[in-house]
A = this chain, B = another copy of it.
């Protein structure tokens, strides 16, 4: 991870056209499965995760449903069954195949899903050729691409979870000499950065794309706070474990403690081994020695919160995180491109939030309960997808995402 990704990403050079972006993004999804078999792409490791094949199909369904259907003259469905099979959760559009049963869809085959992708690609490109200037169409295609980029990251987190279920612990890719992505980079020394109390502006500004949950931009008052200049490392989590962190109820939220006890957890997801034999970590490159200076990954909010309490600190609110980045882009490292960072903020609508009308309005708003916001981005987030105002969100027990933490005080 080079240092430029630590700063708030900005567009440089001539901006690619929407058509160019469309081709790049759609192509990237297919590249992800280059080393995988049809079997690898079909299996589903748990209800929360989806098969790679399903991601490939669903992201095409999104374009078919929200771009082609309302805009293409004489629209006809690629395959009537796909309308239901690959609808994730848009109730305004119709029925959905039950999420926990996505892994049983051996038909359509991977080859048929790739054909579906090509057909949708051709039709969207034709539409863009004809009506590329239509701002509504432009907006929906952009939304579809952002949506697809979200699924590109999920393809990797879901795939990692699947491979980890296999006792042979197969690698997604052979580890290169100089691992560049698919893994976190080393971490610098921690500096506490201080911020004064005061009024701040939170939420997306400007005319670039953002999701509806980043709007409206609005004012907030923040108390003075401190934020760590870098992420918590594996070495630091090892110290937490060594001091009995997973056995001390006073460090945990009550629900977190019940969860840790019920699951019998002793360390982050994908870790194995121990102090005697050495710690290992399952990665997309297969089983590897734990990299001590790398940011800790695959933590739940419960674990992140317990770690912070043990460390005499706390998690930042999402507003502190965003404001700090506005103020100190250079001093804060690892804000993007390493690990998503849990905040203490429950996922809630911004004052004045309004979901888009119609089924596409189900994208974000209906999930605003019992979830917590993560900020930043991970090594698996597609380049250019990250934003200072970006709000990722998952339930507090989620571990299979590329999630770590940054301390606040």
Contacts and interface: CB of A to CB of B under 8 A. Distances in A.
A106 B37 contact: yes
Interface string A98-111: 00010111111110
A254 B362 CA distance: 9
Nearest to A101: B165
Nearest to A250: B92
A249 to B, nearest CB: 4
A352 B301 CA distance: 20
Interface in A83-134: 84-85, 89, 91-92, 97, 101, 103-110
Contacts of A104: 43, 45, 162, 165-166
A106 to B, nearest CB: 4
Interface in A266-305: 301-302, 305
A369 B348 contact: no
B165 A366 contact: no
Contacts of A38: 37-39
B352 A39 contact: no
B369 A256 contact: yes
A165 B370 CA distance: 29
A132 B370 CA distance: 44
A91 B250 contact: yes
Given A105-B166, A252-B366, A39 B110 contact: yes
A56 interface: no
Contact of A167 (B40, B84, B249, B369): B84
A209 interface: no
B106 A39 contact: yes
Interface stretch (A213-221, A228-236, A332-340, A380-388): A213-221
A215 to B, nearest CB: 14
A222 B305 CA distance: 27
A42 interface: yes
Nearest to A369: B253
B254 A167 contact: no
A253 B367 contact: yes
A77 interface: no
Nearest to A370: B370
A93 B252 CA distance: 16
A203 to B, nearest CB: 12
A223 interface: yes
A168 B107 contact: yes
A69 interface: no
Contact of A366 (B91, B109, B220, B254): B254
A150 to B, nearest CB: 17
Interface in A40-56: 40-43, 45
Interface in A53-98: 81, 84-85, 89, 91-92, 97
A199 B221 contact: yes
Nearest to A365: B253
A107 B366 contact: no
A351 interface: yes
B45 A223 contact: no
A368 B107 contact: no
A329 interface: no
B43 A106 contact: yes
Given A39-B41, A92-B250, A257-B366, 7 more contacts: A39-B39, A39-B106, A219-B221, A219-B223, A223-B352, A254-B366, A370-B396
What are the 4 closest A-B residue pairs judged by CB atoms, nearest first? A346-B346, A221-B221, A39-B106, A223-B351
13 contacts: A37-B38, A37-B106, A38-B38, A38-B39, A42-B42, A42-B43, A43-B103, A43-B104, A104-B165, A107-B166, A219-B221, A253-B369, A256-B369
